[in-house]
Chains A and B, each alone.
Chain A
Amino acid sequence: MDILNLLVAPEFFANGPVRTALVISAGAAIVSGVVGVFTVIRGQSFAGHALADVSSAGGSASFLLGINPLLGFLGIALLAAGVIELAGLRRVRERDLATGVVLGAGLGLTALFLYFDVTTRSTTGVAVSVMFGSMFAIPASLIPLSTGVGLGALLIVAAIYRPLLLTSFEPGLAKVRGVPVRAIGLAHLLLLSLAVTLSAMTIGAILSTALLIGPAATALRLARRPGWAIFLAALIGLGACWGGILLAYDSYGWTPGHSWPVSFFIVTLIFLAYLGASSTAKPALKRAG
């Protein structure tokens, strides 16, 4: 207990904003870790990044409309996923092109909404909080909705676990066996939207890819079975988020009166975990080509 107190000040867990951040980031880390493994296996990291960036349009619009930012992020992410799916053709190259075009259009909308935010509303720091997150400013009242979104995503994964895994590893075989590949692909995009929405709330739209791809890529280097990889990815994401929150809290003493951005610590921890795993292990799981 004494050692724990040295690392973690006793006030840490009594601090309201810290508690909210721990809960919200846990949901984001677990969902992103779980969904991220499928995303990496399917080779759709770019779509994940695009959805996250595009969701910033929803985040900035939510300030304009005065609605819950989570709903803003989610609405636009779902819309963009739909457009990618509609425009995205069978071949990977064309899918990436469609994704890139949607990404550009989405960020253009973000620029427009941010302009309206600062010229018509009394907002402060919208751009920073939408793009890079502002975890300690999240109101505790957001916990039920974000937990609900997270549980919903995990339930969907549980319900379609086997076909999702099969279409991710062996899309050809899945088709032969009569698995609805297209519907499962759509479900994966939906999951991706939910995951990036949760992480956009915590570490910002731009950085949420880090939480989606980083822990999953690290876990896939360490684990031999998909189930283990999913568990490990969620665990790495959780460790990075909670470690980042702790470091941001402690950084208050490094530069008196200021704490460093929590998002910086989280993505740095994710990066270090990936470096560590890359130097110690060979890729263990085969990916779809």
Chain B
Amino acid sequence: MALFWATAALAQPVASPRISALGVENEYANVIAQIGGQYVTVSAIETDPNTNPHDFEVSPRIASQIAGADLIVENGLGYDSWANRMIAAAPRASRQVIDVRRLLAVPRTTRNPHLWYSPATMQAVAQAVALALGRLAPAHAAYFYANAQKFDASLRPWLAAMAAFKAEFPNVPVAVTEPVGDDMLQAMGANILTPFGLQAAIMNGTDPSPQDVATQDTLFTGHKVKLFVYNQQVTDPLTQSFLALARQNAIPVVGVYETMPTGYDYQSWMQAEVAALRNAVSRNISTRTLGGSAP
């Protein structure tokens, strides 16, 4: 019996090569890596926390990355619609594709595409990834499932930190530049006072309305908000003018990201954001950037 196991272990690399998986955004790639462990090679396309993923430009290298992947996790909601086209252009019978919007059954009309800030998202993604990997490599299905359980457990400190924040600081009024962190802020019971029209204009790079800009200005000058949540990846002269106003009025700033910053995994990234928000509200301390990842 022992001999049989030893032979199987030795034969394994030859018998089943590692599964090639792709997370279009690096936070999804990180979750795949945590579930797939030693049996999966994971790559990501959106990896640079210093650029705006909404303005992504596709290169031929990415097309071959997508064509060669056995498992692809994409966000959906138009955030990475280019990926859909490239997946369709390189069909593959065995390929598993997880569209996170479809997985969560979020309506197509949802205005905020940054699904990974929603507390329930990655649990569902982890389950779906374990299932998909199990289909690609049935021999290791139990291993993937166990990793998904482990991943679920590791999210608990983050969920607990959000619940504690909500209990301790209910209805904290906040200003934001764009909706990236809105789902998490809402889960923490925060009251987002920035008009959604302005958030959408900044996210989509369209003309902001002067009424919304004036409303946002008074959030700072009138000290109507306790903190300012600033998307480090979507900036322009307008967002910089809000940053200056926040500083002048001594309102703490917390930087948030669309793409997972270097040096973090999904769980530690989310926990760092919650810790930064807590520092801002309880001690008036700004956390403009996470680690050394942004300029």
Q: Do the two chains bind?
A: yes
| A residues with CB within 8 A of B | 11, 14-18, 21, 69, 115, 117-129, 133-139, 248-249, 252, 257-259, 261-263
Contact of B202 among A16, A124, A257, A258 (CB under 8 A): A124
A133 to B206 Cα, complex, angstroms: 10
- Residues A257 and B197 in contact, CB atoms below 8 Å apart: yes
Contact of A118 among B52, B202, B209 (CB under 8 A): B52
From known contacts A115-B57, A249-B211, A258-B197, infer whether A123 and B235 are also in contact, taking CB-CB under 8 Å.
yes
Residues of chain A within 8 A (CB-CB) of B207 are 128, 133-137, 248, 259, 261-263
- Residues B51 and A120 in contact, CB atoms below 8 Å apart: yes
B232 interface contact, C-beta 8 A: yes
- Residues B52 and A123 in contact, CB atoms below 8 Å apart: yes
Q: What is the interface size of chain B, counting residues whose CB is below 8 A from a CB of the partner? A: 34
Residues of chain B within 8 A (CB-CB) of A263 are 207
A60 to B112 Cα, complex, angstroms: 27
Instruction: Give min CB distance, A39 to chain B, whole Å.
Output: 28
From known contacts A122-B232, A122-B233, infer whether A127 and B211 are also in contact, taking CB-CB under 8 Å.
no
| B residues with CB within 8 A of A | 50-52, 54-57, 178, 195-197, 202-211, 213-214, 217, 232-241
CB<8 Å pairs between A and B, sample of 21: A17-B208, A17-B213, A21-B210, A115-B57, A118-B52, A119-B51, A120-B51, A122-B51, A122-B233, A124-B52, A124-B202, A124-B203, A125-B202, A125-B206, A125-B236, A129-B205, A136-B213, A248-B209, A248-B210, A249-B209, A258-B197
Contact of B205 among A18, A115, A126, A249 (CB under 8 A): A126
The closest CB in chain B to the CB of A138 belongs to B237
Contact of B210 among A17, A120, A128 (CB under 8 A): A17
From known contacts A124-B234, A128-B205, infer whether A249 and B210 are also in contact, taking CB-CB under 8 Å.
yes
- The interface centre, meaning the residue of B51, B210, B237, B241 with most chain A CB atoms within 10 A of its CB, is B210
A137 to B205 Cα, complex, angstroms: 11
- Residues B195 and A257 in contact, CB atoms below 8 Å apart: yes
- Residues B209 and A259 in contact, CB atoms below 8 Å apart: yes
Given contacts A139-B241, A252-B210, A257-B209, 10 further A-B contacts (CB under 8 A): A11-B211, A16-B213, A118-B51, A119-B51, A124-B178, A124-B236, A137-B213, A137-B238, A252-B211, A262-B207
A36 to B198 Cα, complex, angstroms: 35
A21 to B129 Cα, complex, angstroms: 51
The closest CB in chain A to the CB of B50 belongs to A122
- Residues B210 and A124 in contact, CB atoms below 8 Å apart: no
- Residues B208 and A134 in contact, CB atoms below 8 Å apart: yes
The closest CB in chain A to the CB of B54 belongs to A124
Instruction: Give min CB distance, B231 to chain A, whole Å.
Output: 8
A161 to B196 Cα, complex, angstroms: 50
